[in-house]
Chain A
Amino acid sequence: MTSEVESIGAGFKPVADERREITRNVVVPRRHPGRWIAVAVLAVLVLQFGQAISVNPNFHWDVYLTYLFAPPVIRGVGWTLLLTVVAMTVAITVAGLLVVMRDSENPILRGIAYGWVWFFRGTPIYTQLLFWGLFAVLFPNLSLSIPFGPELISVETKYIVTPAIAAILGLGFNESAYLTEIFRAGFNSIDRGQAEAAQALGMKRAKIWMRILMPQAMRVIIPPTGNETIGMLKMTSLVLAIPFTLDLTFATNAISNRLYLPIPLLLVAGTWYLAITSLLMIGQYFLERHFGKGVSAHSTRVG
């Protein structure tokens, strides 16, 4: 109701000027009665809801508190966080390469980039993870050899593609396909003149990508990549398919199966996922602030 006109008066700062003859406008902040009513209604609802779940015995809050910081849960949090960060790092690196390959003059590199995105985006992640788990069975030995010639080195696959590595590569490669599209959209959003201005200065390709295009693409890339990172956090629970059995969801499921009390342990897992997501969002905030240099903040908020 008040939103169309609220910012005309509110937040207005008179021109800073120290000269005596200028009397600054005295601006009285507008009142917002609607906001206070909304706050009151919300407060009542929140209190009622809080009461309903805090005194409800079905939630087993005592069990929740016992297991919230239990060692297997904490270890699960650690692994989930590690999987998320490392798999995301793999995904970002691969997607960065793919996006440059897509722009390459070399048709083979372009073809590989297209094929990669086509394959990893086109097959379910669960199926991919199952295959990563079977990798050691399908290819018991990894060897480096001259085709149809002698073998140079040979290692048993299970020592290289361990469940953790399989989980990281599985999650990372799948994610890289999605990130490639996000990165591409980011780079496409930049005016062609930017690259031309850098070329005209005599800059080489790699420098143009790193110093001119990337920082500008970041503004467009970071919000959806933040989404993807949070999605990845939850996707780590799928590594059961490999099977990789140290992540948070597996840890809390194992406990609840033992206790026959699923609810409190779901709450434990939920609390931790929420906590990690909050942490990631803080990181995103600072990244956005860093790469927002030179662009007015909130430029899309309509007065």
Chain B
Amino acid sequence: MTANISEFCVEMQNIHKFYGPFHALKGVSLRVRRGEVCVAIGPSGSGKSTLLRCINQLETISAGRVLLKGELQGFVEQDGRFHPLSSGQIAAQRRLTGMVFQRFHLFPHMTALENIMEGPAHVKGWSKDQARTKANQLLERVGLGGFGGRYPEQLSGGQQQRVAIARALAMEPEVMLFDEPTSALDPELVGEVLDVIKDLARSGITMVVVTHEIGFAREVGNHLIFMDQGQIMEEGHPRSMLADPQNPRTAAFLSKVL
């Protein structure tokens, strides 16, 4: 048990997810070690977003267990029964994770700086000054020093996404979740966002990244999963798996995107 806590940051045990009658995740198990960059690829509708959203409880799982740092998420388990946590307790558990969305979802009524300060100041309860200092540091880190006073609509897509990454980092999460962070960007803006994410990966933070950027998976990933129809079809080290896929469906998918 103790080994578990230190070794695996994210542990999903046999997760099922139903949307009404639709079976979106069909028994997914995944373990992500501390500091690991886990990249998820797969065709559209295969359940990648759903998987990510189960980790931070934006979706309620139908069966199975999600553990973060060994702690069961969303429930207390007693005598084989699951007792749901209160929404306040779930909110507290979500602080372990930070999420970056495909369409940024910055708060449009706040400046870039205020977006980043929001978590530290209003969730962690830091003072305004502390939060502002932190936010300015993070803006520098994502290459946007001097852009703090701009509202999201005054920023390009790539800049917005970098602010969104800084906003998630401001909560100092244990795990960063990225859901296709570059899919909504013009091709020439993809690079600047990927550079920030690569930088993060090297800093040693645990990440789960859903992406269509196979090059990114090869370069910075150290754990690759291929999903199809709600299941993990193949899993392994990116370089070997991309070079020599074992599952025919992985091979078929890769031949289309590479």
Contacts and interface: CB of A to CB of B under 8 A. Distances in A.
Given A211-B118, A216-B109, A199 B101 contact: no
B91 A293 contact: no
Contacts of A199: 58, 91, 94
B105 A191 contact: yes
Interface string B141-172: 00000000001110000000000100110010
B122 A207 contact: yes
Contacts, number: 75
Interface in A231-273: none
Interface in B76-105: 87-88, 91-95, 97-99, 101, 103, 105
A3 to B, nearest CB: 27
User: How many residues of A sit at the interface, in one of the four size bands?
Assistant: 20 to 34
B185 to A, nearest CB: 16
Given A211-B118, A212-B107, A294-B110, A204 B88 contact: yes
Contacts of A197: 99, 101, 105-107, 164
B181 interface: no
A207 B121 CA distance: 12
A295 B109 CA distance: 7
A212 to B, nearest CB: 6
B123 A295 contact: no
B156 to A, nearest CB: 16
A124 interface: no
Interface string A166-196: 0000000000000000000000000101101
Contact of B151 (A200, A212, A216, A293): A293
A186 to B, nearest CB: 13
Contact of B98 (A198, A200, A216, A295): A200
A200 B58 contact: yes
A27 to B, nearest CB: 24
Given A193-B103, A202-B171, A204-B87, A293 B97 contact: no
Classify chain B: how many residues form its interface, as a range: 20 to 34
A296 B107 contact: no
A199 to B, nearest CB: 6
A212 B91 CA distance: 15
A215 interface: yes
B105 A196 contact: yes
A203 interface: yes
A194 B101 CA distance: 11
Contacts of B91: 199, 202-205
A295 B111 CA distance: 11
A contacts with B: majority SS: helix
Nearest to B170: A201
A114 interface: no
A100 to B, nearest CB: 13
B42 interface: no
A211 B107 CA distance: 10
Contacts of B93: 202
A67 to B, nearest CB: 47
B47 interface: no
A258 B209 CA distance: 81
A296 B151 CA distance: 10
A212 B57 CA distance: 19
B87 A194 contact: no
Contacts of A295: 108-109, 153
B111 to A, nearest CB: 8
Most buried by A among B94, B103, B152, B171: B94
A294 B88 contact: no
Contacts of B88: 204
**Most chain B Cβ neighbours within 10 Å, of A199, A200, A205, A207:** A200
A200 B122 contact: no
B109 A200 contact: no
B103 to A, nearest CB: 6
B56 interface: yes
Given A199-B94, A296-B153, A216 B171 contact: no
Interface string A287-301: 000010111100000
Given A196-B58, A204-B91, A295-B153, 19 more contacts: A196-B101, A198-B107, A199-B58, A200-B98, A201-B95, A201-B167, A202-B91, A202-B119, A204-B87, A204-B88, A205-B87, A212-B107, A216-B107, A216-B108, A294-B111, A294-B151, A294-B152, A294-B153, A295-B109
17 contacts: A191-B105, A194-B107, A196-B101, A196-B105, A197-B164, A201-B118, A201-B167, A202-B92, A202-B93, A202-B94, A202-B95, A202-B171, A203-B122, A204-B87, A207-B122, A291-B109, A294-B108
